[in-house]
A = this chain, B = another copy of it.
Amino acid sequence: MKNILDGIEDVLLMGPGPSCVPPSVYEALSRKTLGHMDTYFIQIMDEIKIQLLHIMKTENYLTLPISGTGSAGMEASFVNLIEKDDSVLILINGVFGERMRDVASRLGAKVDSVEFEWGTPVDPEKVREKVSKGAYKMVAMIHAETSTGVRNPAEEVADILRNGESIYLLDAVTSLGGIEVATDAWGVDVLYSGTQKCLSCPPGLAPASFSKKALAVILNRKTKVPNWYLDMSLLSKYWEGRSRVYHHTAPINMNYALYQALYLIMEEGLENVFRRHLENHNKLVEGLEGLGLKMLVKPGHRLPMLNSVLVPEGVREDEVRAKLRTRYKIEIGGGLGPLAGKIWRIGLMGHTARAENVQRVLTALRETLRK
């Protein structure tokens, strides 16, 4: 009987995620499954929480990996904090900001937004102006807009919201583990990420953290969270306290892999990891410009882990990607929405952000574009 898994190739993942997975994370993933109420597994959960507090730079009590991919983190964040008719301001400059609007609208929120051209960052002054005119229960932004490669000014928006009433929600799916994410120092109330970007773990979990202020909002809801699976007040009873209350069966092996991925980051040192991302990003940009290619995003607003490159005139971008994948076993991403066909997205996330990978993709692009 043919087994399709036998044909899986070793592809260098340089797209918008998933990123390359270190060997020891694969090993962790395939360790023997324990029960979700096993005391040893609960010890592993406690260790993962300690790691997350460190990586997220927070002391938030309610910090845990949600049992779904990054988008489940977004869903959990909105569905726990927002009730019908709550006012939400969303800062939008790409696909994931748009997604936030969709998620919040479905929950009956009154969604207001400030929009910025895709490829440019959120302008804090426009946010200040908007916030001064309206009272929002929540202000939400994507830190690293994976669809464009733009780094949004998380700290400047934090300064605007400081001492205000609004809950500050920051999507750190692509930023966490690649650039500074200072949850507590910035006063972020709700933060979530995904395992398959700079954490270098396969997709499947969404580490999330909720501040005391966010927790108070959750505990003072007028209605039950309309999502049993993602109800943080129930999940916290499984992740915290002396007597753990069964909620749903945690994805045990994915949690092993997350532990190992965070272990590697802490072993290398968070600042060293950030530096490695930045150095390889600089090498990549230099190399791309050496090939005559141009970046979508202006210097100063670029993400090191997600590099958007303008497709040169006359080049079929999908053919280049297909060639990279088949001939060179390299995955890079295409554009989304208004940027479809116009950019490539080259990821340097986590374990992918290494000099030999930068060289490999530059060589492959040079040879492919020459023809």
A153 at the interface (CB under 8 A from B): no
A107 at the interface (CB under 8 A from B): yes
A4 contacts B259, C-beta separation under 8 Å: yes
Interchain nearest-CB distance for A254 vs B (Å): 6
B35 contacts A15, C-beta separation under 8 Å: yes
Interchain nearest-CB distance for A18 vs B (Å): 5
Interchain nearest-CB distance for A41 vs B (Å): 9
Contacts of A251 in B (CB 8 A): 69, 202-204, 251, 254
A11 at the interface (CB under 8 A from B): yes
A32 contacts B17, C-beta separation under 8 Å: no
Contacts of A229 in B (CB 8 A): 68, 71-72, 74-75
Report the copy number of this chain in the oligomer: 2
Interchain nearest-CB distance for A321 vs B (Å): 10
A47's nearest neighbour on chain B, judged by CB, is B4
A5 contacts B260, C-beta separation under 8 Å: yes
B4 contacts A32, C-beta separation under 8 Å: no
B29 contacts A30, C-beta separation under 8 Å: yes
> CA separation between A33 and B1, bound complex, in Å?
23
Question: For window 1-30 of chain A, which residues contact chain B by CB distance below 8 Å?
Answer: 1, 3-5, 7-11, 13, 15, 17-18, 20-21, 26-30
> CA separation between A303 and B161, bound complex, in Å?
56
Name the residue in A43, A229, A250 with the highest tally of chain B Cβ atoms < 10 Å from its Cβ.
A229
Contacts of A116 in B (CB 8 A): none
Contacts of A224 in B (CB 8 A): 105-106
Interface of A: prevailing SS: loop
A304 at the interface (CB under 8 A from B): no
> CA separation between A165 and B115, bound complex, in Å?
46
A61 at the interface (CB under 8 A from B): no
A331 at the interface (CB under 8 A from B): yes
B35 contacts A227, C-beta separation under 8 Å: no
Interchain nearest-CB distance for A347 vs B (Å): 10
Interchain nearest-CB distance for A208 vs B (Å): 13
Tell me whether A8 and B30 are in contact in the complex, defined as CB-CB below 8 angstroms, given that A103-B228, A227-B79 are known contacts: no
Interchain nearest-CB distance for A91 vs B (Å): 18
A3's nearest neighbour on chain B, judged by CB, is B263
Interchain nearest-CB distance for A135 vs B (Å): 24
B18 contacts A252, C-beta separation under 8 Å: yes
A196 at the interface (CB under 8 A from B): yes
A106 contacts B246, C-beta separation under 8 Å: no
Interchain nearest-CB distance for A236 vs B (Å): 16
A–B pairs, 14, beta carbons within 8 Å: A1-B266, A4-B43, A4-B259, A5-B28, A5-B256, A67-B204, A68-B72, A71-B228, A71-B248, A75-B230, A107-B226, A202-B253, A204-B254, A226-B226
The 8 closest A-B pairs by CB, nearest first: A204-B251, A71-B248, A30-B30, A26-B30, A75-B229, A202-B253, A203-B249, A103-B228
Interface residues of A (CB under 8 A from B): 1, 3-5, 7-11, 13, 15, 17-18, 20-21, 26-40, 43-44, 47, 67-72, 74-75, 79, 99, 102-103, 105-108, 194, 196, 202-204, 224-230, 246-254, 256, 259-260, 263, 266-267, 325, 331, 336
